[in-house]
Amino acid sequence: MKQPVEMTASELLGELNEVERKYAPKKLFIVGRREILDERPRVSIVGSRKPSARGLQRAKKLARIVAERRGVVISGLAMGVDAAAHRAAIEAGGLTVAVIGTSLNNVYPRENAELQELIQQQYLCISQFPIGYPTRRENFPIRNRTMALISDATVIIEAGNTSGSLSQGWEALRLGRRLFISKSLTENKSLSWTREMQAYGAELLSDESLEGFFESLPIRIAPLEMDAVPF
């Protein structure tokens, strides 16, 4: 691993507003290409650690489109949706950023050690936990707040009523970031969180709304190409 660089959130992201300053971590530690965060829209793609086959397809599809549209795919380097999004962005020749819930010299889960090393060497890896900090369960929802802060928009691809990804959804709304929910999730009547988040401003993401989704991001990017996997 390269030597981590310590920064404040404002040094990494630019000037923060009052709400952002309130919830930003005091310090961030980064390894990799800091410039990845400059000038390109940043889209968090998050979801279940044990997604369905369709959920994995949706995560890969969106990550690929974001990469092709010159956006940055941000995720948390967890199993399932996170890892699929990182890998799809890389395979599409795009850029990705991992915001992790461990210190930069630790890996969780171990299955993603090679992917984390690749991201640290060629892309960007961010942690708010200093070297040697213990890996605890509560680190991960804390990390989700930081990931929401770094992102211009968050998309929840697939998540149950108790999924850790929901914490990022609520943090995105708290911070005034745009939150999108895969339309297919709203068709599952057993999921109460989709209706709750929509009541607070979450938007649906579907094939029909993809163009508007990209137009809402800070930088306009290339024309959209669709494929057969619907959101």
Q: Do the Cβ atoms of 29 and 5 come closer than 8 Å?
A: yes
pLDDT value at position 224?
45
Q: What is the CA radius of gyration of the chain?
A: 16
Residue 210 lies in a domain: no
Residue 75 lies in a domain: yes
Q: Mind listing the pLDDT tens digit of every residue in the chain (231 residues)?
A: 889 999 999 999 999 999 999 999 999 999 999 999 987 999 999 999 999 999 999 999 999 999 999 999 999 999 999 999 999 999 999 999 999 999 999 999 999 999 999 999 999 999 999 999 999 999 999 999 999 999 999 999 999 999 999 999 999 999 999 999 999 999 999 999 999 999 999 999 999 999 999 988 986 344 445 455 566
Number of domains in the chain: 1
Residue 192 lies in a domain: no
Q: What is the CATH number of the domain that holds 90?
A: 3.40.50.450
Q: Where are the beta strands (DSSP E) in the chain?
A: 5-7, 28-32, 42-46, 72-75, 95-99, 124-127, 153-156, 178-182, 203-205
Structural domain for 78, as ranges: 5-9+17-178
Pairing type for strands 42-46 and 153-156 reads parallel
pLDDT value at position 223?
44
Residue 46 lies in a domain: yes
Instruction: Supply the DSSP symbol for 69.
Output: T
Tokens matching residue 161: 């009523």
Residue 53 lies in a domain: yes
Conformation bin of residue 77: beta by default, left when phi > 0, alpha when psi is -120 to 50 = left
Residue 189 lies in a domain: no
Residue type, 15: E
For residues 93, 94, 100, 105, the Cα torsion angle rounded to the nearest 10 degrees is: 50
Q: What confidence tens digit (pLDDT) does each residue in 178-219 have?
A: 999 999 999 999 999 999 999 999 999 999 999 999 988 986
pLDDT value at position 113?
98
Sorted by sequence, the CB contacts under 8 Å of residue 79 that are 6+ apart come out as 49, 50, 109, 111, 112
Residue type, 98: A
